[in-house]
Amino acid sequence: MLKLKLNPPACADVVAPKVATPMITAAARLIVLDVMVIVSLRIWLPVSQAMFVFVWYRLVCRVLENNMTCWR
């Protein structure tokens, strides 16, 4: 009879999918972070105030990104 080897592949055989560019992962992180900030602000504030705080948060983060490495 035919015997099948069911050994798991070695770590070197398992290759994680590579992202096309680092920009995609950075953009994905920004989107996830922005959604988390909006949801957390929305829990505590009305919609108009939450969006106002979010806009200021993004402006401050953009200034920090221009002046130093991003802290996120």
Predicted confidence (pLDDT) per residue in 9-57, tens digit: 555 555 555 555 565 676 777 777 778 877 877 777 787 787 778 788 8
Predicted structure pTM score: 0.43
| Domain count for the chain | 1
In a domain? residue 12:
no
**One-letter amino acid for residue 36 of the chain:** M
pLDDT for 34-43, tens place per residue? Answer: 788 778 777 7
Residue 15 lies in a domain: no
**Quick check: is 59 in a domain?**
yes
Give CA–CA dist 67/72, Å, rounded: 14
